[in-house]
Copies of this chain bind each other. A is one copy, B any other.
């Protein structure tokens, strides 16, 4: 059956649960058909490193090649020498912001051009394919089924908003304003000729990273929509999935479980909601989320092109 819905999803309770939801979409008023999906680990592979981290490491190497003294900065020295003890001592946040700070002073256009070049040139460290082929084929099929039923589809990532916006239209058909991510602050820079441009600061906006309990408020603030379908893969998505499930009508909260070491990666999802010690799979079971096991539910994992 070449016209079978969701062809990359194997028969089973997960596929049935998704189809049962799709069958009920007509009960949802058209202007309430809103789907929000996390990106890293939900729409594309996030191992061995987040693609954004791969990008930043490449940027660091280029920056140090141009100015070797940068390599003496403690955060960069620890990264470049793989000094895990030093990285642990410095802390992930300080290291991450040192990398983000490499782009301080760039205009959005300059930053976007660097990201676009990364995606044009980079290959996945293990699979050797362009990042476009790191997208999960079953999730793309679900995205299309939702769209064909009148859903607006948005990406809600803990990563930088600009990073995902560069490939949002090409990878997911999502325009820049449909991508919510962690937000860098900008400053207005007035040049000598009187023209005005925006430049990146190295700081996040005051509301913080777009993760965990930050996602539902940001969805409201940035998109002005209320999700009834949400997809995620970690505790950073828990509140967003809960929010979708709290809709007064048919809803779908889908958790991707990374349990396939042969075809993708097997790794324990981070711990559950911030108030409990349960794993995200325990959270999913408790709250009735639909769990997509990569090993069992996906006949195909990656997009072919």
- Closest B residue to A179 by beta carbon equals B224
* Interface locus among A5-13, A14-22, A98-106, A238-246: A238-246
CA distance A179 to B222 in the complex (A): 9
**Which single residue of chain B is at the shortest CB-CB distance from A217?**
B186
Measured between beta carbons, the chain B residues less than 8 angstroms from A221 are: 161, 183-186, 205
Known: A195-B246, A217-B198, A242-B196. A224 touches B177 (CB 8 A): yes
Interface size grouping (class) on chain A = 35 or more
Q: How far is the CA of A240 from the CA of B129 in the complex (A)?
A: 41
Give the complex CA separation of A228 and B154 in angstroms. 25
- In the bound complex, residues from chain B placing their C-beta under 8 Å from that of A162 are 224
What's the Cα separation between A245 and B188 when bound, in Å? 14
CB A25 to nearest CB in B, in angstroms, measures: 19
The yes or no answer to A165 lying at the interface (CB within 8 A) is yes
Which residues of A approach B to under 8 Å, CB–CB? 108-109, 152, 154, 161-162, 165, 175-179, 183-188, 194-198, 205-207, 213, 216-217, 220-226, 239, 242-243, 245-246, 287
- What are 12 of the A-B contact pairs (CB < 8 Å)? A108-B224, A154-B177, A177-B222, A185-B207, A188-B213, A188-B216, A195-B242, A195-B245, A196-B243, A198-B220, A205-B207, A205-B221
